[in-house]
Chain A
């Protein structure tokens, strides 16, 4: 989810007859839920798609530090500051785990970062929206991480071993993210009228961007079939989106806030909530780079990387000197 619109590296699915012997063995393993490990044989397209997906997922975690980091220095209490900092730190950790998973396929982290900075790889559209008041921090934890968790819980079953293990670790760590967010926004929604107004504003602004996180509708998501067959993707966009809406609507109601979409209604027959489609043209605009924060987010990441080059080089140079001195001493 943090990986939207991943183009599967091939179009269409091969039938069993079209597959080579190796490809058939590979598909059998996946069908039997046997994990694929780094040194196992795998189709090139599987490898390429995975690198793209894990890379985009990792980039999302790291860029995702920025909208929340925006409030670390303004957190209203020492405890909230510590919680938020720990949470944003976790996102950096998750980025690190995911880059590591991608590295098992021979793609270096530096290379992936370069592709991001050159605009050749993407990150989740959600992080191109601004965080404008303190309630946004609650809403990001609750809605954005909530949406991410729905997806990531499913991805724990993904076919690639290192990706699946990273997801398991991430899900374990993330369990506090959504809860701290909801707790923060509860205090706002149940607080003074001014606090409640901020909470309502946060939900109104972030609802549609949050449900866009699951990517385009299944009908428009032409790349999914192969990814589903390879179990790189485990559930469809619409399935996950529905699951998220169903779990979130009662949570909004509990807060006593107005629903952010007049189209939200319980559908007895389906046993699910109906809801309105987000404005998909906005989604594609954001993906193309025209979201409210795209330019600033990327600029911040590039600056951090470029300004840090002398630090990385300096520490590396010192390590090499030390190693050389040690060899000389032996």
Chain B
């Protein structure tokens, strides 16, 4: 079944921008983590995310068909053209919040990549197959850290509970559906995100329970990232540093 190119492009940008923006955030920790072992581990996560970005945005550029590269898409679009969920662009906060955000995202990715491996689009399936191994490790590691800190000292517990309340309103956006998602589902390229929620909730509630954290009762979900309609103020600053060289010295070989 043929699929509208714009929808496919939109879908790929959502994947690539999620990993691009989160990879950028995680890389900010390099050299500043609580202990060398964690510094090294976080850099590995960031490296995986950058690698996934190259695949997603590379394919997006190909589908777009305007002769652009993954780098063009990463470094030369402005904030309103980014399609990442808001969760990924939030500032790192403390180490606990960074790892909790990582877990909330990893859990989503681990469910999603499993489905995308069955995609009717071979390239999507291949990217998902590679990413799924990385994601499986990420979610294991971030879950362990969330449990360790949630069920650690009084202070670490308090900080993790605060982080969860801060991040929770950004979880819902990952499961929002629109006509792009409908088109992807109809073409068998990707599942409707809403259909992943149950599995996701089961996964995170187990981990958060082990972490002795209370899932907030509030169900309100911020949105606007994956449609590009309204990002947070933070994304513009992130892009300001990320894109600076490409903007200041256009057309160079680096």
Contacts and interface: CB of A to CB of B under 8 A. Distances in A.
Interface residues of A, number: 49
B3 interface: no
Interface in B13-65: 20, 24, 27-28, 30-40, 43-44, 46-47, 50-51, 53-54, 57
Interface residues of B, number: 51
Contacts of B33: 304, 308
Given A77-B254, A78-B53, A311-B96, A88 B31 contact: yes
B240 to A, nearest CB: 10
Contacts of A86: 43, 47
Contacts of B156: 310-311, 313-315, 317
A74 B242 contact: yes
Contacts of A304: 31-34
Interface string A69-89: 100111111111110011011
Given A65-B30, A317-B156, A85 B50 contact: yes
Interface stretch (B105-113, B135-143, B144-152): B144-152
A309 B50 CA distance: 29
A319 interface: yes
Contact of B155 (A85, A184, A314, A315): A314
B115 interface: no
B46 A312 contact: no
B47 A308 contact: no
A79 B58 CA distance: 12
Interface in B83-131: 94-96
Contacts of B57: 78
Interface string B211-254: 00000000000000000000000000000011011100100111
Contact of B152 (A69, A96, A134, A317): A317
A1 interface: no
B36 A187 contact: no
A128 B64 CA distance: 46
Nearest to B242: A73
A317 B153 contact: yes
A69 B32 CA distance: 9
Nearest to B50: A82
Contacts of A191: 252-253
B149 A314 contact: yes
A300 interface: yes
A66 B74 CA distance: 25
A308 B35 contact: yes
Contacts of B46: 85
A234 B35 CA distance: 32
B200 interface: no
A275 to B, nearest CB: 31
A96 to B, nearest CB: 5
Nearest to B53: A78
Nearest to A72: B27
A318 B35 contact: no
A89 B30 contact: yes
Contacts of A184: 254
Contacts of B147: 318
A318 B151 contact: yes
Contacts of A305: 34
A141 interface: no
A17 interface: no
A318 B148 contact: yes
A81 B50 contact: yes
B185 interface: no
B111 to A, nearest CB: 26
A316 B34 CA distance: 13
Nearest to A62: B36
B197 interface: no
Contacts of B31: 62, 65-66, 69, 88, 92, 300, 304
Contact of B43 (A80, A88, A313, A316): A88
A76 B254 contact: yes
A315 B153 CA distance: 8
B244 A74 contact: yes
Interface in A179-202: 184, 187, 191-192, 194-195
A88 B252 CA distance: 24
B148 A315 contact: yes
B38 A134 contact: no
Interface string A290-330: 00000000001001110111111111111101000000000
A1 B254 CA distance: 30
A86 to B, nearest CB: 6
Given A78-B57, A308-B95, A314-B156, 13 more contacts: A65-B31, A74-B241, A77-B75, A82-B47, A85-B30, A85-B50, A89-B30, A93-B40, A191-B253, A192-B252, A305-B34, A315-B145, A319-B148
3 smallest CB-CB distances across A and B, nearest first, come from: A308-B34, A314-B156, A314-B152
11 contacts: A78-B53, A81-B27, A81-B50, A82-B51, A195-B252, A304-B32, A308-B95, A313-B155, A314-B148, A314-B155, A315-B156
